[in-house]
Structure 1
Amino acid sequence: MASIIFYILGFTTLAATAMCITRRNPVHAVVYLVNALFALALMFYLLGAPLVAAWEVIIYAGAIMVLFLFIIMMFELSPDSPETQGPGWRRWGPVVLLSLVILGCTLALLGLEADPQGVPAFWVSPREFGAALFDRYALGVQVISFQLLYAAVGAYYLGKGALRRRSREDAS
């Protein structure tokens, strides 16, 4: 049962991500991305990492997506051409379908058999997860941390250049 739910969630994540990158309306793209992040969080939960699943929902699907929506509204981004007009089901049907699949998988995960302590047999304790992450996969964690550092430095550099250009334009 768990492997079937995993594949359903994997397909849902791929479908929601594909819908996200093909939408012209940025708000619709963010809605599909939130859907994909919820499906991914359920996959982490299913793989025995409930803490990572909670972080996925709280940080990415919550805080980061609110930031994306704030930026979209601040820059007043809108699609160049209107999306297909028609009945509401053509616009909201896919997101409702994906949301129902995620809700169904969540309910199925809650109904899975648990051992006598109440914890499903496929869970891993945070201690075991941390030991695996920083013991077996320490190199991967370091590589990703350096990539995030490079991205932050690059964003600072690009932002600083735009600030200089803007101040030159204001001076002339």
Structure 2
Amino acid sequence: MIWPFYLMAVVAIVSTIRVVTNTNPVHALLCLIVSLLAVAGIFMIVGAPFAGALEVIVYAGAIMVLFVFVVMMLNLGQHTMEQERKWLSSDTWAIPALMSFLLGLTLVWMLGSDYNTKNAVLGTSLISAQDVGKTLFTQYVLLVEIAAMLLLAALVAAFHLGKREPTEEQEQSNG
């Protein structure tokens, strides 16, 4: 049965298009979370449950929470709050709700069926966490180290770019 793969692919494509076309950053982030969950479902279907779990934990979990906190910390003011009230209509949430429903329906089907005990639906075998670890830290160890250095550089750059000088009011209240 291959229909769950195509369903997840359609959900991922539609929600990713909504990320790009959405003007509200919070709604775009919610659509991105749906897209990342759909990609995690695709990983599960093709026989890479470890990659699917990492997709949910790292991307849909940690990184998206960070993005939501950044958007919330921007505190764009009263105009943005009024705009948010206008956007909280049922037609704004119809597409993300439909995509989430389709993901949930597919997840319930996947958990209820016995496809996990057999070989993967599209792949020839399941890829274990041990296989991923051996491959990453033997054959691709240089790429892993380069990625780690790039992430560290991005973290330092983001810290310095986001750092604000204290205003006079803050200096007077602290000292």
Report the TM-score, using the length of structure 1 for normalisation. 0.72
Report how many aligned residue pairs link the two structures: 162
Aligned to 1:17: 16
**Residues 26 and 79 of structure 1 are in contact (CA less than 8 Å); yes or no, is this contact kept in structure 2?**
no
Aligned to 1:103: 104
Residue deviations 1:88-137 (CA, integer Å, cap 9, x gap): 442111101211221233234332535xxx35443222212222333344
**Residues 50 and 128 of structure 2 are in contact (CA less than 8 Å); yes or no, is this contact kept in structure 1?**
no
**Residues 38 and 61 of structure 1 are in contact (CA less than 8 Å); yes or no, is this contact kept in structure 2?**
yes
Q: Distance in 2 between matches of 1:87 and 1:25?
A: 11
Aligned to 2:41: 42
From 112, 123, 127, the counterpart of 2:126: 123
**CA 147–6 in structure 1, closer or farther in 2 if over 3 Å, else same:** farther
Structure 1 SS opposite 2:115 = coil
**Counterpart mapping for 1:10-159 below 5 A:** 10-77=9-76, 79=80, 82=83, 88-110=89-111, 111-114=113-116, 118=117, 120-121=119-120, 122-159=125-162
Q: Distance in 1 between matches of 2:6 and 2:136?
A: 24
**CA 135–151 in structure 1, closer or farther in 2 if over 3 Å, else same:** same
* Aligned-pair CA distance for 1:65: 2.7
Q: Distance in 2 between matches of 1:81 and 1:87?
A: 10
Q: Distance in 2 between matches of 1:156 and 1:45?
A: 35
Unaligned runs of 5+ in 2: none
- Between the two proteins, what is the percent identity of the paired residues? 34
**CA 147–7 in structure 1, closer or farther in 2 if over 3 Å, else same:** farther
Q: Distance in 2 between matches of 1:158 and 1:71?
A: 13
**Residues 17 and 32 of structure 1 are in contact (CA less than 8 Å); yes or no, is this contact kept in structure 2?**
yes
Residue deviations 1:43-95 (CA, integer Å, cap 9, x gap): 22223332332232233323333333333333223759948x69944211110
Q: Distance in 1 between matches of 2:146 and 2:46?
A: 23
1:34 partner amino acid: I
* Aligned-pair CA distance for 1:31: 1.2
Report the TM-score, using the length of structure 2 for normalisation. 0.71
Deviates more, 1:68-77 or 1:122-131: 68-77
The Cα RMSD (Å) is 3.2
